[in-house]
Chains A and B, each alone.
Chain A
Amino acid sequence: ETGVTQSPTHLIKTRGQQVTLRCSSQSGHNTVSWYQQALGQGPQFIFQYYREEENGRGNFPPRFSGLQFPNYSSELNVNALELDDSALYLCASSLREVSYEQYFGPGTRLTVT
């Protein structure tokens, strides 16, 4: 069974640029959630995708957007990057119909300069 994978591992961008982060869900899972973890803080929920539809969103502006593909992998897109977007971005997958458990990937460390 393959766990959750994310790419890239690290990324450095300039303020105003756009970034795309990728996540492959664990085998058999149909739900992907994205979280932002600022340094020294707990993760904050960005949004969740279930069967290719957005299924809940946290308190993040519209420049944070996402996609889920038929194979349940997912992308997180952030436009017009700001310095405060620097964080660890975590993807978690789950099988919504069975359990509340979410399994996390290793994260992508984004630095905005």
Chain B
Amino acid sequence: GNSVTQMEGPVTLSEEAFLTINCTYTATGYPSLFWYVQYPGEGLQLLLKATKADDKGSNKGFEATYRKETTSFHLEKGSVQVSDSAVYFCALSDQSAQKLVFGQGTRLTINP
């Protein structure tokens, strides 16, 4: 079945550091890929998406590129801020669009 694997957390960085959170997936066909962010005590917010190979999703300084050859969708940001502290989830949606399959989440803490 479809699955998503994220890098183990938690991740702690200093403000203005470069961020990478790794995400790889297993899926049949051509899934759409997403990054969601969850702030403390809140639901999930869609951060960015990519729907086909080589697409780059971007939002709020975050980027991720859909790499079919490596089945990856790594999240990057060039300079993180304290306000980026949250839990980040990588997810895929199969072609039937019936459900999202999530990774286990990566907790990110940014220190001033």
Contacts and interface: CB of A to CB of B under 8 A. Distances in A.
A42 B45 contact: no
A61 B101 CA distance: 18
A43 B98 contact: no
Interface stretch (A13-21, A63-71, A75-83, A100-108): A100-108
Given A101-B46, A104-B44, A104-B45, A55 B100 contact: no
B43 A56 contact: no
Interface size class of A (residues with CB under 8 A): 20 to 34
Interface in A17-70: 33, 35, 40-45, 48, 55-56, 58
A35 B93 CA distance: 14
Interface string B87-112: 00101010011111111110000000
Interface of A: 4, 6, 33, 35, 40-45, 48, 55-56, 58, 90, 92, 94, 96, 100-107
Closest 8 CB pairs of A and B: A42-B102, A56-B98, A45-B99, A104-B44, A104-B43, A100-B93, A106-B43, A100-B32
